[in-house]
Structure 1
Amino acid sequence: MNEFSYIPGIKPLNPGPLTRFLPPLEEGVSSAWLETHVDLGAWVLDPFGSSPQQAIRTARKGYRVLVAANNPVARFMLEMAADPPSTSDYNAALAELAVSLKGKERLESHLKNLYKTQCANCQQMVIAESFLWHKDAATPFARIYECKSCGDKGERLTTVADAERALELLSSAKLHRARVLERIAPLNNPDREYAEEALQSYLPRAIYVLTTLINRLDGLSLSPLRQRALTALLLTACDEGNTLWPHPVERPRPKQLFVPGQFYEHNLWLALEQGVDMWASDADPVPLNIWPDPLPESGGVCLFEGKLKELNEKKKLPRIEAVITTIPRPNQAFWTLSALWAGWLWGREAAQPFKVGLRRRRYDWGWHATALHAAFGHLATLLPKKTPLLGLLAEPEPSFLSATLAAASSDFTLKNLAMRTKYDPVQIIWEREEPGEMKKPQVGGAVKKYLRARGEATTYLHLHALALTEFARANSLLLPQEAVDETLHRIHATIDETLNTDTDLLRYEGSEHSLQTGLWGLASTEKSEIPLPDRAEMAVVRYLSKNPRQSLFEIEREIYPQFAGLETPSKALILAILDSYAHHHNDGFWHLREEDKPSARLTDLKEMRALITNLGERLGHQTQQIDDKMIVWGEESAPVYVFHLIASARVREILDKNTPLPGRNLIVLPGGRAGLLAYKEKRDPTFRASLRGWRVIKFRLLRTLSKIPLLNAQTWEEQIGSDPIEGPPSGQLMMF
């Protein structure tokens, strides 16, 4: 297990609509895995349908993808991605909507005027981009606009007229609220109260605008293509219109229908216009059929409109040769809103199969594990033995990972698990296989072995994932006759007890209230391997030396096989190494700087040896060159200064092999390595502790000192502290 290396992908240029609710995935991961497992034209199953774009990308590569999608919004997004209207179709549909009449007024003007406000600078009337609200307030406290008359723009306090307009809309809200409720659950319907609760996440102005737009959608005479395009734009307005847009957070990812303390109220006509760029695509269409209609061997998507359980009951299913899916994460906000939106856009019958999203308010991990266990059970009966399954678990956290692995363990054998950081999807590979003999998991030993191999402290999530793989190796994730939710308590208790009681483990900068904070390492690092950051540095530089002009994606793809499973270097680490050694061109390619090519650095090291020897003699010290990378001023048994020369930032070996001499140990390295060394120091508290008492001098400082004609001991001591190592590049996250 864990010979599998992380598969890198590319961030999508256009994330598309409803991004904040969909799993954040990179492009190219699915196809890269499938290429090594099945032939083109094979049937691939997506049992959860939680990532529409993933299925489309897989189909475009030449596979036939069977998708079970119970969420009507997810189904619609899949259909739109398979056969996207053009930008001109979206614009034409929006234009027809704009010129339709509301009374004697054009609809566009009527709706825009609901957001009009007065410029604070020139007093001209402008259309606000959004209003800002405090939770439970009756009126907004600020507005955001850009005045075309005087150029004033930004956030300004609201006016009396803004407050009066909001109160006027509030007075008529009851009628419009009743209209949108009728499309989901009429009076006396048992789901009515749940729909009313969900509707609390919409302000009166948004409800009025959406009611007007939905009624107009039913009344316009549009071609089927433009009807779909306009429906897509209205779906964007439905999302932009709720109160789950916290201010000033830019990219929220809500999981619950909780109104933030401060939030945006967006201009919904502007949302329609901006939606064109979100939805429009120039990609070629992908064949999409509704089950059981066949697909061509060249690839496409076969959509099953229902649950996996219902698909399991169908006969004459194609032979599934691989499964690739994004594991669904509980999202009460998206599931509840999907039920609302389905009723508004397609009528209450369309929302009926998904109304469980309205009724359920809490999704704990025990409930989710139980639901996933049932789903994996249905999935197993669809698959031949040995069928491979790649699951992508986006936005990972310990309980989500535990729930997923425990749920699958009855019917699937965990083969490999690879993880980069908590910001990246975990990649999990299973096979359709009955579990083997149950053993006792050796969690403590596995954790320590992993930390020694990694050579640095790491996050709780990495150790939790490692412990789960040890449970899987021992076939003891889910015990016989054990409820799935009970499994989570047992597993977590074992992991926490190990971390709390094993004296060989040490936590840095953590909270006493949670084991998940801070970093975990070994109390002693004597037997540790070369630290992961140093191995990554060697791998990146070696690859770029032989392969100039490479993209970040190509670099990741080539070096990740050297770092299996839970030792995957983060993008932040790779970029810190590249910033230290390479130039980044506007075309996106990296290549080694001339001064960082091996031959140039050998010349630099030779120059530094000569400079250090010369400076020592000028200051009256006996100098001794111990080897090519170590020079001593003074007696070797009682040195005044010890210089350690290195062209890289891989200084851990120097620290481990030499006795600290506070203030007298000097690491001499190129200026370009200083930022990378600072990154490593900030990243790993064990390395930071080892570096205490050591001083770092850059090549450029020695060159400068060699040119000072009257250098003395005092000047030397003052100057060697005048050029400290810089911190990591601005904005560089310490992601593991």
Structure 2
Amino acid sequence: MDFQPYIPGMKPADPGPLSRFLPPLEEGVISAWLSTQPFGAVHSGPGTWLLDPFGFSPRLVLEAARSGTRVLVTANNPITRFLLEMFANPPPESEFIAALADLGAVKKGDERLAGHLQSLYLTKCEKCNQQIYANAFLWRKGEDAPYARIYECKHCGDSGEHPATEEDIERAKKIAETDALHRTRAFEKVVALNDEDRFYAEEAIQYYLPRPLYVITTIVNRLDSLNLSAERKRALTALVLIACDAGNTIWAHPAERPRPKQLSTPSQFREHNVWMALERGLTLWSETGSTVPCEAWPKKIPESGGICIYEGRLKDLAQLVKKEIPISAVIGSVPRPNQAFWTLSALWAGWLWGKEAVEPYKVALRRRRYDWAWNATALHSAFNHLNDLLPDGIPFFALLPEPEPSFLTSAFTAANAAGFSLVNVALRTEHDPVQVTWKSGKKEKPQTADAALLQNSIQEYLASRGEPASYLHVHTAGLIALAEANTLKQPEHEFDETLRKTNALFESALKNDERFVHYSTGENVETGMWGSSTSPRSGSAQNESLSDQVEVAIVTFLQKNQHAIYLEVEDELNPRFTGLLTPSKGLIYAVLNSYAEKESGGWKLRAEDLSSARRNELNNIFTLIEAIGKRLEYKTRRDDKTLTWFENGKPVRSFYVMASALLGRALETTAPDTILVIPGGRAALAAYKLQRDPALAAQLKTRRVVKYRLLRAILEVPILTRDSFEEQIASDPVEKSTGQMMMF
């Protein structure tokens, strides 16, 4: 495989509505891919048609359309379809403000609806005793009243979390007395009373407490009765969708699961003030960007770019596309199971648009658990339909967010079995989406999986990396080899059996090969890191560790490009370290912070790290070590980067003086008892490398590393003996200088 660079993007300034359920993707990735060779030169431009077969990421589709292409999207989920329509053509901010005002002005008895619903969240400030609105109440699972509230008092400025008062508890219990009525109304908007799926709807609605459910049903019941323009109704519907999400019980407190996948109530959770959530929605929706032409199939969109939404499944679209739309490429965020979002989407669709909107998506209510075999089966069906409608050789640029080994195995197996050939895989860290390129083609007869093939591919990858890797990286290297050999799916096996056999093959391949070293406290192959015992570090550049190679590359770049911004550094590195060798942002920042300083948004080498200054400093350190040796009555001799103390003609102590943190190179080119001498500014970078490389950390346990500043301090000691020297150099370990770099 000819590995291509990882395409970096930028985290969105505002994640937007329902972001906890949507793929966490960086902006700029898809537009960058569309402009790359060879795709950009051949396919992109006005009139180009792209296909997103999943419709899982509205932002990705929007970015592609804004790049000047036409995007056909299949969107079976009514909520993601609505999000896409709203992002593409958001109403003006004035319409959101007016819609909320119209809703708030509706009468509930003698009260305005806004005042009535806000009064449900009244509490007393603990400091000034004024009546205020709580931002949220905190609950413990299974209890019938909140134990705490969160507020910001506008009268005295008091804020934060405080115990619930008796009035808070009584108010919550009083609201619960009429809960059965509102709960019945809520599920009747989703399914009919005699519907066989009634039980599933009732079960899903259990994830709403009485107060937020009352607020939501009260608002939803007013939606149709309000005399609003179509544009204002869209705006109000969008705000109510925010409220629907804010009202459920899957908001953990503290937020230990910020991106829930299963519909389950945490042991402690937050009950948001739903009216405040509506008000916050004004900001979320008014920052969605410029308008893009967006139409429902089969309406036309301009050649200059836009979005065409097919409200259905890919298999229903296949024959239509084959005849009418020449697809140049496929793009998309590959979906991973999310029972929480899919179930809630069915509920919300019913509340917002009625039972008819739920009908095509009702299966989401029934299914409670999704495993990776189910995911592989569903993806295989989609890939099959996709391959049927495409000519051979059409590229599919896919993003796999929140990657984990089972997700990758599921997706790679499904694509391989459907006839898609693997072209490229680029992986940065387990926190970043994996970027995969497939090409459509004919299905080939699968081959039998070979443990030796898997072992050799992993060994080759670890040798190229020069340091241990996470299991995700190792697993991906193996998957690539199995996919290229067409051994991922056996025709006689269902997907559950196929995935079990693949996972077992990985486990036996790693555990039964002495070339692999497992750096972990547990037996599970997915824990810790994996390294190679047969590819020791060498002084040659091609065998150096990835972290050392990245350090050299960044410093070389900064020497030639003073005041470079971070993106320029990344653009320099990623084409040099492609595929599974993509350096993490943490490593890049660790090197930048060690050698450079930020000035007006750009990075420039520190004055002391310019080549001429470092050469002078190295000479000064050699002179200093020589002076210490003479005070201790040793003879000294310098040989390139090493200075040795002698006594009676025999070497007593050697010092290897470095200007860098290239510890791997130093360990391979020096004797075991040599002291490594580094600048203090390299200590945090060295500690970062020890954290990411357990093999390096193990080697360094028997070695001593000292900093320039310690040797300077030793030279100033009035009374220095050989014994006190040994005590001094053991007093300042590298680990003490990790600082804030560990956060990256």
Shorter-normalised TM-score: what interval?
over 0.9
Sort the Cα spacing of 1:300 and 1:361 in 2 relative to 1 into closer, same or farther, 3 A.
same
- Structure 1 position 483, deviation (Å): 2.2
SS at structure 2 position matched to 1:345: helix
Structure 2 counterpart of 1:229, from 224, 235, 258: 235
| Partner residue, 2:575 | 561
Correspondences of 1:126-205 after superposition (within 5 Å): 126-205=132-211
| Partner residue, 1:413 | 421
Structure 1 counterpart of 2:609, from 587, 593, 596: 596
| Partner residue, 1:424 | 432
- Structure 1 position 409, deviation (Å): 0.7
Sort the Cα spacing of 1:393 and 1:201 in 2 relative to 1 into closer, same or farther, 3 A.
same
Residue 353 of structure 2 corresponds to residue 346 of structure 1: yes
Residue 398 of structure 2 corresponds to residue 391 of structure 1: yes
One-letter amino acid matched to 2:598 = H
| Partner residue, 1:616 | 629
Residue 643 of structure 2 corresponds to residue 631 of structure 1: yes
Q: Distance in 1 between matches of 2:266 and 2:702?
A: 48
The percent of aligned pairs where both chains have the same amino acid is 50
Deviations 1:14-54 (A, max 9, x none): 11011110110011111111112132121111000000000
Q: Distance in 2 between matches of 1:552 and 1:368?
A: 37
Give yes or no for contact 2:446–2:491 (8 Å, CA) kept in 1. no
| Partner residue, 2:725 | 716
Residue 263 of structure 2 corresponds to residue 280 of structure 1: no
One-letter amino acid matched to 1:325 = G
Residue 585 of structure 2 corresponds to residue 571 of structure 1: yes
Deviations 1:692-726 (A, max 9, x none): 22222222233333444544434433433343323
Q: Distance in 2 between matches of 1:57 and 1:505?
A: 43
Give yes or no for contact 1:611–1:706 (8 Å, CA) kept in 2. yes
- Higher mean alpha-carbon deviation, 8-17 vs 224-233, is at 224-233
Q: Distance in 2 between matches of 1:402 and 1:251?
A: 24
- Higher mean alpha-carbon deviation, 234-243 vs 106-115, is at 106-115
Q: Distance in 1 between matches of 2:610 and 2:648?
A: 33
- Higher mean alpha-carbon deviation, 48-57 vs 694-703, is at 694-703
Residue 273 of structure 2 corresponds to residue 267 of structure 1: yes
Deviations 1:498-535 (A, max 9, x none): 111111111112312x2111111123442662101101
- Structure 1 position 417, deviation (Å): 1.0
Deviations 1:284-323 (A, max 9, x none): 2111111112221211111111111111132533100011
Q: Distance in 2 between matches of 1:732 and 1:707?
A: 33
Sort the Cα spacing of 1:108 and 1:638 in 2 relative to 1 into closer, same or farther, 3 A.
farther
Residue 23 of structure 2 corresponds to residue 40 of structure 1: no
| Partner residue, 2:664 | 652
Give yes or no for contact 1:48–1:67 (8 Å, CA) kept in 2. yes
- Structure 1 position 154, deviation (Å): 1.3
Give the count of matched residue pairs.
728
Give yes or no for contact 1:247–1:263 (8 Å, CA) kept in 2. yes
| Partner residue, 1:483 | 494
- Higher mean alpha-carbon deviation, 526-535 vs 441-450, is at 526-535
Structure 2 counterpart of 1:687, from 690, 696, 707: 696
Structure 2 counterpart of 1:642, from 631, 641, 654: 654
| Partner residue, 1:367 | 374
Q: Distance in 2 between matches of 1:521 and 1:288?
A: 50
- Structure 1 position 62, deviation (Å): 0.7
Structure 2 counterpart of 1:86, from 88, 92, 107: 92
- Structure 1 position 182, deviation (Å): 1.3
Give yes or no for contact 2:297–2:310 (8 Å, CA) kept in 1. yes
Give yes or no for contact 2:590–2:741 (8 Å, CA) kept in 1. no
| Partner residue, 1:521 | 531
- Higher mean alpha-carbon deviation, 405-414 vs 706-715, is at 706-715
Residue 619 of structure 2 corresponds to residue 606 of structure 1: yes
One-letter amino acid matched to 1:312 = A
Q: Distance in 2 between matches of 1:409 and 1:721?
A: 56
- Higher mean alpha-carbon deviation, 576-585 vs 466-475, is at 576-585
Residue 458 of structure 2 corresponds to residue 447 of structure 1: yes
One-letter amino acid matched to 1:331 = N
Give yes or no for contact 1:510–1:519 (8 Å, CA) kept in 2. no
Sort the Cα spacing of 1:312 and 1:435 in 2 relative to 1 into closer, same or farther, 3 A.
closer
SS at structure 2 position matched to 1:21: coil
Residue 593 of structure 2 corresponds to residue 583 of structure 1: no
Q: Distance in 2 between matches of 1:728 and 1:657?
A: 25
Q: Distance in 2 between matches of 1:420 and 1:355?
A: 37
Q: Distance in 2 between matches of 1:276 and 1:510?
A: 49
One-letter amino acid matched to 2:520 = E
Q: Distance in 2 between matches of 1:733 and 1:388?
A: 37
Deviations 1:184-224 (A, max 9, x none): 11211111111000001000001100011112222222222
Give yes or no for contact 2:537–2:544 (8 Å, CA) kept in 1. no
One-letter amino acid matched to 2:508 = E
- Structure 1 position 490, deviation (Å): 1.6
Deviations 1:323-343 (A, max 9, x none): 111000111100000000001
Root-mean-square deviation over aligned CA pairs: 1.8
| Partner residue, 2:119 | 113
- Structure 1 position 86, deviation (Å): 3.0
Q: Distance in 1 between matches of 2:697 and 2:546?
A: 15
Q: Distance in 2 between matches of 1:18 and 1:575?
A: 30
Deviations 1:132-191 (A, max 9, x none): 111111111111112222322211111111111111111100111111111111211111
Sort the Cα spacing of 1:138 and 1:731 in 2 relative to 1 into closer, same or farther, 3 A.
farther
For structure 1, the 5+ residue unaligned runs are: none
Q: Distance in 2 between matches of 1:559 and 1:183?
A: 54
Correspondences of 1:305-344 after superposition (within 5 Å): 305-314=311-320, 316-344=323-351
SS at structure 1 position matched to 2:224: helix
TM-score (norm 2): 0.95
Q: Distance in 1 between matches of 2:742 and 2:220?
A: 45
- Higher mean alpha-carbon deviation, 719-728 vs 253-262, is at 719-728
Q: Distance in 2 between matches of 1:155 and 1:637?
A: 72
SS at structure 2 position matched to 1:234: helix
- Structure 1 position 251, deviation (Å): 5.9
Q: Distance in 1 between matches of 2:446 and 2:313?
A: 32
Give yes or no for contact 1:394–1:425 (8 Å, CA) kept in 2. yes
- Higher mean alpha-carbon deviation, 719-728 vs 448-457, is at 719-728
Q: Distance in 1 between matches of 2:354 and 2:445?
A: 52
TM-score (norm 1): 0.96
Deviations 1:395-451 (A, max 9, x none): 111111111001011320011111111111111111112255755540111111111
SS at structure 1 position matched to 2:742: coil
